[in-house]
Amino acid sequence: MKLLIIEDDKLLSDDICEITSNMFNAVQAFDGEQGLFLAEQNIFDVIILDIMMPFLNGYQVLHELRQKNIKTPVLILTAKDSIDDKIKGFKNGADDYLVKPFHRQELLLRLEAIVRRSAGNVQMNMIEFRELSLNLSNKTVEYRGHNVSLNGKQSELLEYLIYNKNTILTKEQIFDRIWGFDSDTSTTVVEVYASHLRKLLKQFGYDQYLKTFRGLGYMLTENGDDNG
């Protein structure tokens, strides 16, 4: 899963990266403006958001995201501990609020709870689409007792599509999510992996659920009509 940390204290941000490394691939932003830009790409599973930051404060970032209907779960992590601050955070659309200094285990538990609430179908590192199960630990797909191993990027692509089923994901979103903003490859790699994934799904008769929207992107849909 992918985590965005919007925190201007670089040492603390690095600590959070280390604490969450077993759960997430983290991307860091060190001011509100940069954080808002990254969050607007809508490719993250969770956002950790500080309040007091340069250019835009956390409340402003959160307000902008919710105004743009970006529903990525947000955990506010701040030294501001008054009840008024917490009320303001939740009213602006925060999913949780944790005060600094914090215990690392509490941060992990809160992040796990947010992921469970938002994904709904995550149990024991397994996510499901119809009768298809993706094991996030060993990167295998299971269908009626039949198992197929995936490589890392194939697993990440299928995971991203399942989490966002019935939603069109653009090639740019998929590329930024899986290969990263700084990758030196091009978005054409998305087409290659989508083609590979479709061939894999065809083994189970599930290729009909992966729809292509020409020039736009892909969607995993419960509707098994003909693909675009």
**Are the beta carbons of 15 and 48 closer than 8 angstroms?**
no
What HEC string does the chain produce? CEEEEECCCHHHHHHHHHHCCCCCEEEEECCHHHHHHHHCCCCCCEEEECCCCCCCCHHHHHHHHHHCCCCCCEEEEECCCCHHHHHHHHHCCCCEEEECCCCHHHHHHHHHHHHHHHHCCCECCEEEECCEEEECCCCEEEECCEEEECCHHHHHHHHHHHHCCCCCEEHHHHHHHHCCCCCCCCCHHHHHHHHHHHHHHHCCCCHHHEEEECCCEEEECCCCCCCC
* Residue intervals in the chain for CATH 1.10.10.10: 126-220
Model confidence at 160: pLDDT above 80: yes
pLDDT bucket at 181, cuts 50 / 70 / 90: low
Q: What whole-number percentage of the chain has pLDDT above 90?
A: 41
- Over residues 85-107, the mean pLDDT reads 90
Q: Does residue 70 surpass a pLDDT of 50?
A: yes
For 161-176, how does the pLDDT look when each residue is reduced to its tens digit (9 = 90+)? 988 888 889 998 899 8
- pLDDT, position 106: 92
In this prediction, residue 136 carries a pLDDT of: 78
Q: What is the pLDDT of residue 6?
A: 97
Per-residue tokens: 69: 């209907």
pLDDT number for residue 11? 95
Total Cβ atoms within 10 A of residue 9? 14
> pLDDT band at 182, cuts 50/70/90?
low
- Confidence (pLDDT) at 39: 93
Pairing outcome for strands 2-6 and 25-29: parallel
Overall average pLDDT of the 38-59 stretch: 92
Topology given in CATH for the domain delimited by 2-119: Rossmann fold (3.40.50)
* CATH fold group of domain 126-220: Arc Repressor Mutant, subunit A (1.10.10)
pLDDT value, residue 13: 95
Q: Which residue intervals of the chain bear CATH 3.40.50.2300?
A: 2-119
Of the pLDDT bands very low, low, confident and very high (cuts 50, 70, 90), residue 121 is very low
